[in-house]
Amino acid sequence: MPVEITWWGHATCTVEDANVRVLTDPLFARRLAHLRRRRGVLPPPDAWRADVAVVSHLHADHLHVPSLARLAPGTRLLVPRGAPRAVPGLRRLTHLRISEVEPGEVTSVRGVRIRAVPARHDGRRLPVGRHRSPALGFVVEGEARTYFAGDTGLFEDMAREVGPVDVALLPVGGWGPYLGEGHLDAGRAAEALARLGPGSAVPVHYGTYWPIGMDAVRPHEFHAPGEEFVRLAALRAPGVTVHRLDHGESVRPEVVR
């Protein structure tokens, strides 16, 4: 079966390749602290089904313990090295098979390789404190090579450290009116696309969560990043096919080797 990508909202996607389901940064909450889900219904129970789930870094909108608790017993969970020490709630998820990984490590699941790659992002659980875990991206290598960037800024060796990929799942926005250092906006994501040179791309990490009471504050930053990424990608990486998905929508990108 060709690779199939489903975007559930924010950074949560299912990558199905060679009959292996990989779930990225599971977040199944209607509300998270000061954030509420403003667009897209909550993912259905089928979204919780995975052979392996990956967590890119420790921020609560990417490592959400209550969402991880919904995964079926025996599901493999790949987290940045040091995560269980920094997030004690992970240690209570005894029904999951948790592995700590760092850049360069490869996990194989029924012939599909999941390779951890570097990201340039603050990987701490809280805004203050020690850096105990690296922020990661992941490349799922089966019939296609699919790069899930997690949260990252641009970095010099991105193409070399990520390697050749067929599909790129790139963050193009955020959950608030301003993006700090270590993030991609639509323009920087288009530049990342030009560096990586995949055949296809899917914009993620935008248009889902927004701070409560801030609906009128820079609404452009909530609604527009996906369309802006499509426009800028056409200028900076015209050879890449961009699939802007609605919440819950799937695509089977063409893979040409």
pLDDT at 213 over 70: yes
Q: What's the full length of the chain, in residues? A: 257
Question: How would you write 109-136 as a 3-class SS string?
Answer: ECCEEEEEEECCCCCCCCCCCCCCCCCE
> Per-residue pLDDT tens for 128-166?
556 578 999 999 999 999 999 999 999 999 999 999 999
Average pLDDT over residues 39-61: 95
> Per-residue pLDDT tens for 15-37?
999 999 999 999 999 999 999 99
pTM of the model: 0.95
* Angstrom distance (rounded) from CA 241 to CA 233: 9
Q: Model confidence at 236, in pLDDT bands (50, 70, 90)?
A: very high
- Residue 192's contacts (CB-CB under 8 Å, 6 or more residues apart) are 149, 154, 158, 168, 170, 184
Residue carrying the six token digits 């997690």? 150
Task: Please give the single-letter amino acid code of residue 131.
Answer: H
Q: Which two tokens stand for residue 240?
A: 């890449």
> Per-residue pLDDT tens for 84-94?
999 999 999 99
* Angstrom distance (rounded) from CA 63 to CA 129: 17
* Angstrom distance (rounded) from CA 22 to CA 49: 9
202 neighbors 251 (Cβ within 8 angstroms): yes
